[in-house]
Amino acid sequence: MKKIFVALAMALVFCSVKAQTPTDSVGLFAVHGEESTRIEKISHTGIKGSGGLASMATFGVAKIKSKLEFKGETSEHQFEGTATMRMYFGTPSPQQMMNLYMFTPSYSVKNFDVARFDVKKGKRLLTSVTASITGSSVGVASAEDIQIETKELRSGVYDITIKGKPGEYCLMFTANGTGGFGGVFDFTIK
C-alpha cells in the first residue's frame, strides 16, 4: 500500500512539473496583451573610462567615469509608452541557475531597479563608477524620470509597469551592490 502512495505522489509531482506553462517559468517576461516573451539577461561587453585628462588638468576636480558597454543601439524588447513585464520567482533549473539566480525565493521584486542607458556610437552605456577629489560613487544609478508600479499576482509572481520618456532602459538586480555588473534585462520604451 505504501508503494502505491509513493508511486502516486511521484506521478502527481511529475505531472505538475510537466504541466507548467512557459509563462510560469522562473525569470522575467515582456507582456504584450495576452502574449509574453522571455527577456534574456545581457552582459556588458566592455568597460570604457573617460575624464582622465580633464581630471588631471583640474587637479582631480573634474570627474573620472567608468561605463559598462552593451552591444547594439536598441533592445529587441520594444514597448509603446509603457513597459509591462512579469517576474516569476522560484527555483531555476540547474542549467539556468547562473543566469537566473536573482529569481530564487531568497530575493524579491524589491531587489531590482530600473536604469537608463546612454546611447553612443552604436552602443548602450551605463555609468558604473564616478570619482573626483570631492568623492566617488560605485554602482549604476536608478533612472529618475520614470514611474514604476508593482502588483503581486500571487506568491512569487509580480506584474511590473514602467512609464517613462522614450529611450533605452534596463531592469537590473541590485542586491549586494551588483547593479549592472551581473548583467541586465534590457527594453525600449518608444
Question: For the chain, which residues make up each domain, given as ranges?
Answer: 21-43+72-120+143-189
pLDDT digits (tens, 9 = 90+) for 65-90: 788 899 999 999 999 999 999 999 99
pLDDT at position 61 is 72
Does the global pTM surpass 0.75? yes
pLDDT at position 5 is 46
- Long-range contacts, stretch 29-36, CB < 8 angstroms, 24+ apart: 29/85, 29/86, 29/87, 29/88, 30/77, 30/79, 30/83, 30/84, 30/85, 30/187, 31/84, 31/85, 31/86, 31/159, 32/79, 32/84, 36/86
- The CA-to-CA distance between both ends of the chain, in Å, stands at 62
- Cell numbers for 23, please give them: 509563462
| Per-position pLDDT tens, the chain of length 190 | 555 544 444 444 444 443 343 445 899 999 999 999 999 999 989 888 777 776 667 776 767 778 889 999 999 999 999 999 999 999 998 898 888 999 999 999 999 999 999 999 999 999 877 777 887 776 677 788 899 999 999 999 999 999 999 999 999 998 876 667 788 999 999 9
CATH level 2 (architecture), domain 21-43+72-120+143-189? Sandwich (2.60)
pLDDT at position 134 is 82
Run of H or E including 132? strand 123-132
Angle CA 154–155–156, to nearest 5: 110
pLDDT at position 24 is 52
pLDDT at position 107 is 92
